[in-house]
Each structure stands twice: as structure tokens, then as C-alpha cells.
């Protein structure tokens, strides 16, 4: 008997491909519009930007720019240095290294299914993929290259002017067009061929342990009803297992620190003290291969992550109510915030998380480094 998803999940599973234009355009008349190839159970409520439709030429240019080391001040790193395909576009480090040995202060997020997100970076400081794409170029801890210098380098290159003309109709390169091209490529990074996806398509069965993990993942615990759950999908929603795409509602204080140690998080963007300690709930696709975890990479294993939610939540003034009210046992009069999962249940959730690994995604030649 297949697990029945909660009714709300069906609201985000509208059938149909995400359309971003026809592929019937005459190539001689300009870039060839293409459609984003997504499964029919992904949401269709996020429109493609009207000023940056997906094209074959734009995607190929964006892929090249994603791996272009000329976009760093010393020519040593690219976007792909910190977002490596074999690690689901993360890098396996707590903090990534930039040029000249500089080091960041946030863990490099995995990149997949980005079309369905509307806020980017852990603190949500970018409101579009186009904006997100160019910020690391100028960041002194990352690529440390003034954007006007990046434009000049590409303009002087023997190949890039014609590639920009093919993609955008002009050989004149601008910062805006760099962002648009990279964003087009990033939108194609769709991960939808894991065991979980095959299960959704009725192609495989999950093991009993994976099935239990799935049920726990998608269930909010209700001890009065003897309904046990892992409370995971309260923040990691739907078949995308990603944070709410509607603005800042997908940002949470998940109990990592007490008040005296809370980092700014979302508050650095909104300037609202209620947002202190809140960070983006990332998508969990390929989570088993994107360690370490959390915005600061403090947890090295999924076991440590589950232990945190189960036994080590730090109470604070902005702790998310979805965590504060989640427990598999009735209140005992203490102020402790605990999920009270058994060891068997934690192992089952981790087994389910492993079904989100998409081997095709991490080996797809369309996403690989074109310079290799």
C-alpha cells in the first residue's frame, strides 16, 4: 500500500511542463527558444522571466561562463570551483576558498531545481538567479573581480563577443548579460531522476525502511493522535523537498544557537529583529552527497543533523514555531524542545534521504565543465 501524501502536497504538484517558449523559431532569426525539461509533478506556478527566456545559445554561453576562471581576479577559480557537479554542485568543504587563499563564512549551497526558488543565498540577499549569478564575481572573499573588469576581459576575448551575439543579439557584453547567461544555465540544473522520482512515477518500490523514512519525513507529529513524524516537510516542501518559494517564508531559525550566539541571517536583509538567526531552508535533493550541512557547515553527517533536531535544539526568541511545537511525545513540563524520534526512525529518515540522490544529475555531460 503506497503512502498517501498529505492533502497540501497535491497543491504544489500541478501537472505540466514549465514553458519558457517555443523551439520552433527560425535559428537564422535569432536565439532558439527552448523549454525547461521538468517532470509533470514539479510546480508550474513560477514563470520564466520575460526578459530572459531560455535559449540554446544562452544556456551554452552560461555553461561556459559558469566554468570560466577569467571571471576571478587571479584566474584561478570559477563558479564551478565551489559548485562541483560530482558533489551535486556543492564542494564538500565547510567554507569555500576564494582567490588569494581567502575563505568565506557560509557553506556553498548545492545547486539544483533553482527555477522554483525566488530568494538566493543563505540570507536571501538576491531576489533572482540573474542577480545571484554576478554577486560572487565581485565578492572579495570569492572571485574578487570588479564587474567592469570581468566585462572587459570577456570583451577582449577572441570568442566571447560572438557567443554573446548568438545568445543576445549583440557583441557588446554587459554585466546584466553575464548574469542572464549564467542564470539560464543554472535553470537547466534539474534533478529529477532519483529513486524517489522513480517511486513517484510508480517505477520502483521503496524498501520498508525507506518507506518508513518517507512517511516520517512528510508527517508532522501529533502525539495526541499517536501520529509520529519527522517534521522535515514542514520546511522542506513537496516533491522538490525545498523551502517555500514565496518570498522569505522559506527562511527559518532551526535551533542551532541560543539568543546570545544568533547570527544575523535574514535580518541582515530585512533589518527586522524577528528575522535574526533565520536562514534559507535549502532543497534536499542529493543531500546525501552534499555534506557538510547547515549554513555554516557545522555538521559533517546526516546522523549529526538528525541528532540536532531530535535532542539538541537551542531555544531562542526567534526559534521557528514549526520546530517549537513539533514533538512525538506530549509535553513533560520542561522547556526542552525535542522531537523524540527513536533510533530506528532516525535511520529510516536517513535511508529515505539517500533515495534523493540522482546519479544521472551528477554525471550529465550537459552540466559538465566545457573546458575539460
220 among annotated binding-site residues: no
- Is 235 labelled as part of a ligand binding site? yes
Residue 15 assigned ligand-binding role = no
Count of helices and strands (H, E) across the chain: 13, 2
User: 227: how many CB neighbours lie within 10 A of its CB?
Assistant: 11
Q: Where are the beta strands (DSSP E) in the chain?
A: 251-252, 279-280
Residues 106, 295 contacting (CB under 8 angstroms): yes
Q: How far is CA 164 from CA 22, 25, 42, 245, in A?
A: 21, 18, 31, 31
The CA distance from 162 to 167, in Å, is 9
Any known ligand binding at 252? no
Burial of 174 (0-12, 13-18, 19+ CB in 10 A): middle
Please give the torsion angle defined by the CA atoms of residues 80, 38, 289 and 109, in that order, rounded to the nearest 10 degrees: 50
Q: Which residue has the cell 557583441?
A: 171
- Check whether 79 is labelled as a binding-site residue: yes
Q: List residues forming the annotated binding site.
A: 79, 82-83, 232, 235-236
Q: List residues forming the annotated binding site for heme c.
A: 79, 82-83, 232, 235-236
Amino acid at each position: 500500500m503506497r503512502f498517501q501524501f498529505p492533502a497540501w502536497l497535491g497543491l504544489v504538484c500541478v501537472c505540466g511542463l514549465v514553458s519558457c517558449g517555443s523551439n520552433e523559431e527560425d535559428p537564422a532569426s535569432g536565439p532558439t527558444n527552448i523549454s525547461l525539461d521538468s517532470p509533470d509533478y514539479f510546480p508550474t506556478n513560477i514563470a520564466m522571466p520575460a526578459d530572459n527566456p531560455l535559449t540554446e545559445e544562452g544556456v551554452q554561453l552560461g555553461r561556459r561562463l559558469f566554468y570560466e576562471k577569467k571571471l576571478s581576479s587571479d584566474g584561478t577559480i570559477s563558479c564551478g570551483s565551489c559548485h562541483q557537479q560530482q558533489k551535486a554542485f556543492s564542494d564538500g568543504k565547510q567554507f569555500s576558498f576564494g582567490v588569494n587563499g581567502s575563505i568565506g563564512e557560509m557553506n556553498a549551497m548545492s545547486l539544483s531545481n533553482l527555477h522554483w526558488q525566488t530568494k538566493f543565498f543563505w540570507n536571501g540577499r538576491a531576489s533572482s538567479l540573474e542577480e545571484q549569478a554576478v554577486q560572487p564575481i565581485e565578492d572579495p572573499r570569492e572571485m574578487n573581480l570588479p564587474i567592469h573588469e570581468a566585462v572587459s576581459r570577456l570583451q577582449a576575448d577572441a570568442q566571447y563577443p560572438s557567443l554573446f551575439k548568438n545568445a543576445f543579439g549583440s557583441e557588446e557584453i554587459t554585466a546584466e548579460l553575464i548574469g542572464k547567461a549564467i542564470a539560464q544555465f543554472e535553470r537547466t540544473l534539474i534533478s529529477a531522476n532519483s529513486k524517489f522520482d522513480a517511486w513517484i512515477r510508480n517505477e520502483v518500490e521503496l524498501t520498508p525502511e525507506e518507506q518508513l523514512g518517507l512517511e516520517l519525513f512528510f508527517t508532522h507529529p501529533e502525539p495526541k493522535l499517536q501520529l509520529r513524524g519527522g517534521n522535515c516537510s514542514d520546511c522542506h516542501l513537496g516533491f522538490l523537498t525545498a523551502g517555500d518559494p514565496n518570498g522569505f517564508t522559506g527562511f527559518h531559525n532551526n535551533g542551532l544557537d541560543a539568543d546570545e550566539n544568533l547570527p544575523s541571517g535574514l535580518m541582515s536583509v530585512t533589518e527586522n529583529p524577528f528575522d535574526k538567526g533565520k536562514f534559507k531552508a535549502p532543497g534536499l535533493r542529493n543531500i546525501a552527497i552534499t555534506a557538510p550541512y547547515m549554513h555554516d557547515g557545522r555538521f559533517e553527517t546526516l546522523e549529526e543533523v538528525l541528532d540536532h533536531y531530535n535532542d539538541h535544539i537551542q531555544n531562542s526568541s526567534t526559534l521557528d514555531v514549526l520546530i517549537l511545537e513539533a514533538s512525538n511525545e506530549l509535553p513533560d513540563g520542561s522547556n526542552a524542545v525535542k522531537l523524540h524520534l527513536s533510533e530506528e526512525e532516525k535511520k529510516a529518515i536517513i535511508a529515505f534521504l539517500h533515495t534523493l540522490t540522482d546519479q544521472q544529475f551528477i554525471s550529465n555531460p550537459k552540466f559538465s565543465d566545457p573546458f575539460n
